[in-house]
Amino acid sequence: MKPSTPSTVCVLFHVFFGSLSAVTICGNLLVIISIIYFKQLHTPTNSLILSLAVADLLVGVVVFPFSMELSLSSCLFSENVFCKVRNNLDIPLCTASILNLCCISIDRYYAVCHPLTYRTKINVHVVMIMIVVSWSVSLLLTIGLVMAGFQQDKCKEECSIDLQFAVILGLLCIFYLPVIIMLCIYLKIFLVAQRQVRSIQGTKSGATASKMERKATKTLATVMGVFLMCWTPFFFYFSFQLLNPVSFAVIESLNWLALLNSMLNPFIYAFFYSWFRSAFRLIISGKIFQGDFSNSKLH
């Protein structure tokens, strides 16, 4: 029988997941407001970060609540409509987030490895194309997977091979291919940064050069480490699911770990920079409502 009141464990899980959603929304809202309001942050690179923040904000607003209801369906006796709605929203938004991360890595590659031609290679028009392509690919992949699912519902066993092929192709485009691209790009950036540090050791003290090298290593390790930590377990386990049935509890736990990347992205891509921290302080303190600070010099 359905209980008249939810269990204590269920309530605690709702509070926990609701808190994660709130942090995700607030963190990405700070990034969005900062980039839109402060003119100093109107750069091509920050346009990519803005697109990433929009995708992650929508994950926090839309995907988190449906994922929470689906994960706790044993407590609330939810219908599987949550599963269908969550998947149809989860796939395009998380794919857009991953592809935006990939675009940011391309931007950083030209900034570090080709600084002299960076402004000509990565301009406003190129960035807009990157953003449009990221969101378009996300929507097209979602439409393809949804259509494959509808076809599976109609012809049952006869379409299982086609559906599996569609899922494998989707996994390659959504995760494995972007990961390979990002790993290659960040490895190249790391090697170039190390070479640049060694080249200036003759003009700067060894301690300063060593500090710069450690900072570059830490930054790149954080970027890729957090992304891989959040997404790799889910996609590996999901790929294994194509061959063998897996536990619902395990796949949902790994899905939440992957969704946490949307919460952590603002800290990695925005909080790391001092000018974003200055912007956040002005917003949180309410100073931007007391006057025009859009032309403020952020340090």
Q: Which residues contact 1 (CB under 8 A, 6 or more apart)?
A: none
Q: What are the Cα distances from residue 259, in Å, to 21, 128, 288? A: 10, 25, 31
Share of the chain above pLDDT 90, in %: 20
SS3 call for 226:
helix
The per-residue pLDDT of the chain, averaged, comes to: 79
Q: What pLDDT score does 76 carry? A: 47
| 209 within a domain of the structure (yes/no) | yes
CATH number, domain of 42, equals 1.20.1070.10
Matching residue, tokens 């750069």:
43
The conformation of residue 72, written as its DSSP 8-state character, comes to T
What would the pLDDT profile of 157-172 be if each residue is shown by its tens digit?
555 555 566 667 777 8
Enter the pTM of the model: 0.84
SS3 of the chain: helix, strand, coil, percent, to 5: 85, 0, 15
Look at residue 55 and tell me whether its pLDDT is greater than 50.
Answer: yes
Q: What are the Cα distances from residue 89, in Å, to 57, 60, 100, 142? A: 13, 11, 17, 9
| 295 within a domain of the structure (yes/no) | no
| 253 within a domain of the structure (yes/no) | yes
- Among 23-37, 84-98, 199-213, 245-259, the least confident range: 199-213
- Among 18-27, 191-200, 226-235, the least confident range: 191-200
Encoding tokens for residue 298? 């952020």
Encoding tokens for residue 264? 């952590």
Q: Which of 56, 258, 91 is nearest to 173 (CA)?
A: 91
Look at residue 59 and tell me whether its pLDDT is greater than 50.
Answer: yes
**Average pLDDT estimate for 53-66:** 90
| 106 within a domain of the structure (yes/no) | yes
The confidence band for 207, taking pLDDT boundaries of 50, 70 and 90, is low
Q: Which of 93, 71, 76 is nearest to 142 (CA)?
A: 93
Share of the chain above pLDDT 70, in %: 76
Q: What are the Cα distances from residue 258, in Å, to 49, 104, 148, 268? A: 19, 19, 24, 15
| 114 within a domain of the structure (yes/no) | yes
Look at residue 4 and tell me whether its pLDDT is greater than 80.
Answer: no
| 299 within a domain of the structure (yes/no) | no
Find the distance separating the first CA and the last CA of the chain, reported in whole Å. 60
- Among 41-45, 136-140, 154-158, 190-194, the least confident range: 154-158
**Average pLDDT estimate for 214-231:** 76
Q: What pLDDT score does 214 carry? A: 58
How far apart (Å, rounded) are the C-alpha atoms in residues 101 and 179?
Answer: 10
- Among 85-89, 190-194, 272-276, 281-285, the least confident range: 85-89
Q: What pLDDT score does 2 carry? A: 43
SS3 call for 27:
helix
How far apart (Å, rounded) are the C-alpha atoms in residues 68 and 49?
Answer: 26
Q: Which of 31, 13, 52 is nearest to 256 (CA)?
A: 13
What would the pLDDT profile of 112-146 be if each residue is shown by its tens digit?
888 888 888 999 999 999 999 999 988 887 787 66
Look at residue 35 and tell me whether its pLDDT is greater than 50.
Answer: yes
Name residue 298's amino acid.
L
Crossing angle for the helix pair 81-113 and 177-199, to the nearest 10 degrees: 30
| 298 within a domain of the structure (yes/no) | no
Provide the b/e sequence for 47-82 (b: ≥16 CB within 10 Å).
bbbbbbbbbbbbbbbbbbbbbbbbbbbebbeeeeeb
The confidence band for 149, taking pLDDT boundaries of 50, 70 and 90, is low
Look at residue 153 and tell me whether its pLDDT is greater than 60.
Answer: no
**Average pLDDT estimate for 90-105:** 87
| 249 within a domain of the structure (yes/no) | yes
Look at the chain and report how many structural domains it folds into: 1
What would the pLDDT profile of 223-282 be if each residue is shown by its tens digit?
788 888 999 998 888 777 766 666 777 877 888 899 899 999 888 877 777 888 888 888
How far apart (Å, rounded) are the C-alpha atoms in residues 50 and 182?
Answer: 19
**Domain enclosing residue 283, as ranges:** 9-289
> How many Cβ atoms from other residues are within 10 Å of residue 224's Cβ?
19
